[in-house]
Amino acid sequence: MKSKTLTSVVRALSLLLFVSATCALAQEHKPVHFSGLFNDYVPLSATISGSPYEMHGQWSLDVHPELGTGDFAADMTMSGFGRTAAGAVDPTQPIVNPHTHHIKLTNMRITWDMIGCPTYQTPVPTTGFQINGTVSLLTGNGQLAPFETNPPSSTLQVCVSGGPEGQFTVQNANMTLVFGGLAANKHFGPQAIHGVVRIAPTEPFGIFR
């Protein structure tokens, strides 16, 4: 009887240790979460159908430092402008052809620099990182975007940047999106789409670089 009781205790203790180790491992590998907003414009251009547009949305980026990868997602509203009797763009007539886009960039390698990222005027960001790759999702009103291929082939660069470490600075302050591929450029344009970081890690996470 004592033997059975001892065996049960050992099994329970082993299970407790296993669960504790699993929880600790999960906690250790928890992704580093960033999120924020973006608000920008697609300029009037003969090569961008329906331009100009205004864009508003929210985004998130989960970084997996131990893997050196990141997962990006964005939800965007987009709409054009009306025209005057002479055919010019009329900013007083917004929200023409409103539509939505959902965008994902999944399991992309992190590059721990800002080489090739859009530039800023003074003050210039001094720190940052980026992910680049082919989108895993690019919709229009919940369906595959009409300009996108099946499967998607448009590319996307996501850069996060900011100031140096210090009491009165923010190391992760800015976010930019730049689409690549002829089809995506005809809708979003080749220019950078600018946003802000609202939520970022409070502790350094670059020790895995």
CA distances from 117 to 1, 34, 68, 174 (A): 70, 18, 19, 11
**Contact predicate 138/147, CB 8 Å:** no
Q: What is the pLDDT of residue 4?
A: 54
- CA distances from residue 153 to 21, 47, 156, 157, 159 in whole angstroms, order as listed: 41, 19, 10, 13, 20
Q: Which residues in the chain belong to E strands, given as ranges? A: 32-42, 53-64, 69-83, 89-111, 127-134, 137-140, 143-144, 155-162, 174-180, 193-199
User: Where would I find the H helices in the chain?
Assistant: 2-28, 182-188
pLDDT in the model for residue 158: 98
Terminal-residue alpha carbon distance, the chain: 55
Give pTM, 2 decimals. Answer: 0.83
Q: Do 160 and 175 form a contact (C-beta atoms < 8 A)? A: yes
Residue 87 has a pLDDT of: 85
Task: Give the pLDDT of residue 1.
Answer: 53
Position 55 scores a pLDDT of 97
What local confidence, expressed as pLDDT, does residue 78 receive?
97
DSSP-derived 3-state class of residue 56: strand
Instruction: Calculate the CA 109 to chain-centre distance.
Output: 13
In this prediction, residue 20 carries a pLDDT of 47
Exposure string for 181-201, b = 16+ CB within 10 A, e = fewer: bebbbbbbbebbbbbebeebe
Residues of the chain with pLDDT under 50: 6, 9-10, 12-13, 15-27, 207-209
Question: Would you kindly state where each structural domain of the chain is located, as residue ranges?
Answer: 1-30, 31-208
Give yes or no for a contact between 106 and 136, defined as CB atoms under 8 angstroms apart.
yes
